[in-house]
Amino acid sequence: MTSLTGIFSNKGEAVQEKVYEPKPYSNPYLVGIGLGLVLLASFVIMGRGLGASGAFSSVVSVGIQQVAPEHAANNPYFKEYISDGTTSPLKDWLVFEVLGVFVGGLISGLLAHRVKKTVEKGDRISVRSRLIFAFIGGGLMGFGAKLARGCTSGQALTGGALLNLGSWAFMMMVFAGAYAMAYFMRRQWT
Amino acid sequence: MNAPFFKFDMFSVDFSLVIAFVIGIGFGFALERGGFGNARILAAQFYFTNMRVLKVMFSAIVTAMLGLFFFVAFGWLDLSLVYYTDTNLIPQVVGGFILGIGFVVGGYCPGTSCVSAATGRIDGVIYLFGVMAGIFVFGEIFPLISDFYYSSNMGRVFLPDYLGLSYGMVVFLVVLMAVGAFAAAEWGERKMAAKKSGGSK
């Protein structure tokens, strides 16, 4: 994919395999301030913070509705995400926000030549095992986020800035859970 | 200034979706700049080798928190109109712990996995399918766990009220805690780097 960005920046002629080095990541404090200003803008403009997992609840609920409409309508959790049929359940604030996250991430990645088809892992684990862990970890995350009423963005960032008690308790437990499990996952990352 | 603007009907629901998309772009852009499209950077937080997660997260929280505090102090923003989840302490504590385990097992959280997938990481794509599978399982067993899900409801709990301190004092304490955490993170990173270079020789 580095060559892809090379093609884009070429002036249309003689497509050279110009390889761009990925740029280093930005200063974390500046990134944090930038992210904080995005979050603040969301509070001021919309009266709500950021989110991520909620959008996937909508997607999952709509998926179930497509496959088994009665089952979705009878489930007390999924039916919350399915509208009465007047509008699409995907016409939702968080769904559009998360679409933006994909686009914003891609723009930043392209500008910094960091878009690359790869698997992120440590040297001591196979690609296959890494992908199995990615799926299991995602599953735990999805389940935990539903139980906690939000994930790192909806609870830790948003609720953290709003000084919400439950969000702060949640945030401490996220770090506790991750540090408690880190030793057992060391082959994957170090 | 009357904020939140949306709550004062300054624009339509349809236009709010445009705003959602634009805010999402800013969110995704910041996450990618921070290195959060890369699971190795995120996981390094839990081995003390790269503390970017803590640095970005706490500087973001402090920035937004200070902004809110001053907007409220100037009378520009009505905090009671900002959406706020109720505190259900026990389910949130348990959920947070499970989510933390998922973080180090999978290498992402839902938002960062979107950026990861968008920048070509296959593990990020698989992770997202995992998230949807987890949500599916949660929904399917929800009738069995709904009592627990709704347990220990404390309503809307604002940390200053809970601690019996003023809003400004809690803001100050959080800033102080963040600065302390940043100093500890910088120190820890240097220590780990020294250990690594010393060990490999």
Does the pLDDT at position A24 exceed 50? yes
Residue A120: what residue type?
A: E
Of the candidates A60, A97, A148, which has its C-beta nearest B95's C-beta?
A: A148
Q: Which of B37, B87, B170 sits opposite A105 (nearest CB)?
A: B37
Q: Please give the single-letter amino acid code of residue A45.
A: I
Question: Is a pLDDT exceeding 60 seen at residue A13?
Answer: no
Q: Name the residue type at position A9.
A: S
What is the rounded average pLDDT for all residues in chain A? 90
Interface contact B33-A108, CB threshold 8 A:
yes
- Tell which residue, A22, A185, A184, has the closest CA to residue B39: A185
Phi-psi region of A77 (alpha: psi -120 to 50; beta: other; left: phi over 0): alpha
pLDDT of residue B201: 41
Contact assignment for B60 to A48 by CB distance below 8 Å: no
Q: Which two tokens stand for residue A104?
A: 């914003």
Contact residues, chain A, for B91 at CB < 8 Å:
147-149
Question: Is residue B59 within 8 angstroms of chain A, CB to CB?
Answer: yes
Check B63 against A26: CB less than 8 A apart: no
Question: Which residues on A lie below 8 Å from B92 (Cβ)?
Answer: 147-149, 155, 166-167, 169-170, 173
Query: Within 10 A of B102 (CB to CB), how many other CB atoms are there?
Result: 32
Question: For chain B, what's the residue count?
Answer: 201
* Token output for B47: 């081995």
By the 10 Å C-beta count (0-12 exposed, 13-18 middle, 19+ buried), A44 is classed as: buried
Measured between CA atoms, how close is B14 to chain A, in angstroms?
9
Name the phi and psi angles at A77, rounded to 5: -85, -50
Q: Which of B33, A4, B187, A88 is nearest to B25 (CA)?
A: B33
> CB A161 to CB B93 under 8 A?
no
**Residue A21 — φ and ψ, nearest 5°?**
-75, 135
**Is a pLDDT exceeding 50 seen at residue A1?**
no
How far CA A70 is from CA of A54, A60, A61, A73, A77, in Å, comes to: 22, 15, 12, 5, 13
Q: Hey, are the CB atoms on A34 and B30 less than 8 Å from each other? A: yes
Q: How far is B187 from chain A (nearest CA, A)?
A: 15
What tokens does B9 get?
Answer: 């009907």
Tokens coding B129: 């399918």
pLDDT value, residue A82: 86
For residue range A121-179, what is the model confidence (pLDDT) as tens digits?
Answer: 999 999 999 999 999 999 999 999 999 999 999 999 999 999 999 999 999 999 999 99
For residues A46 and A65, give the distance between their C-alpha atoms in angstroms, rounded to a whole number.
29
SS3 B123: helix
Q: Whose CA is closest to B128, among B31, B39, B34?
A: B39
Per the CB < 8 A criterion, the answer to whether A135 and B133 are in contact is: yes
Cross-chain Cβ contact B105/A175 below 8 Å: no
Asked if B192 has any chain A CB less than 8 Å from its own CB, the reply is: no
Q: Using pLDDT thresholds of 50, 70 and 90, give the confidence band for residue A8.
A: low
Nearest to B84 by CA among A57, A110, A100, A163: A163
Give Cβ neighbours of residue A18 (< 8 Å, ≥ 6 apart): A3, A6, A9, A10
Question: Pick from A117, A169, A174: which is nearest to B103 by CB?
Answer: A174
Least Cα distance to B111 among A180, A67, A49, A90 occurs for A49
A186 chain-B contacts, CB cut-off 8 A: 47
pLDDT of A7 strictly over 60: no
Residues 60-119 of B with CB under 8 A from A: 60-65, 67-68, 71, 77, 79, 81-89, 91-119
Which residue, among B53, B117, B59, has the nearest Cα to A109 in the 3D structure?
Answer: B117
Q: Are B114 and A52 in contact (CB under 8 A)?
A: yes
- Note the helical H segments in chain B: 13-33, 39-44, 52-73, 89-106, 110-118, 122-149, 159-163, 167-200
B177 interface with A at CB cutoff 8 Å: no
Instruction: Please give the radius of gyration of chain B, using alpha carbons only, rounded to the nearest integer.
Output: 20
CB neighbour burial string for A51-72, b if at least 16 within 10 angstroms, e if fewer: bbbbbbbbbbbbebbeeeeeeb
Residues B174-185 pLDDT 10s? 999 999 999 999
Q: How far is CA B167 from CA A60, B68, B86, B123, in A?
A: 39, 11, 19, 42
Q: What is the pLDDT along chain B (201 residues), one digit of tens a residue?
A: 788 999 888 889 999 999 999 999 999 999 999 999 999 999 999 999 999 999 999 999 999 999 999 999 999 999 999 998 999 999 999 999 999 999 999 999 999 999 999 999 999 999 999 999 999 999 999 999 999 999 999 999 999 999 999 999 999 999 999 999 999 999 999 998 888 887 544
Position A80 confidence tier, pLDDT thresholds 50, 70, 90: confident
Q: Residue A130 belongs to what H/E stretch?
A: helix A127-148
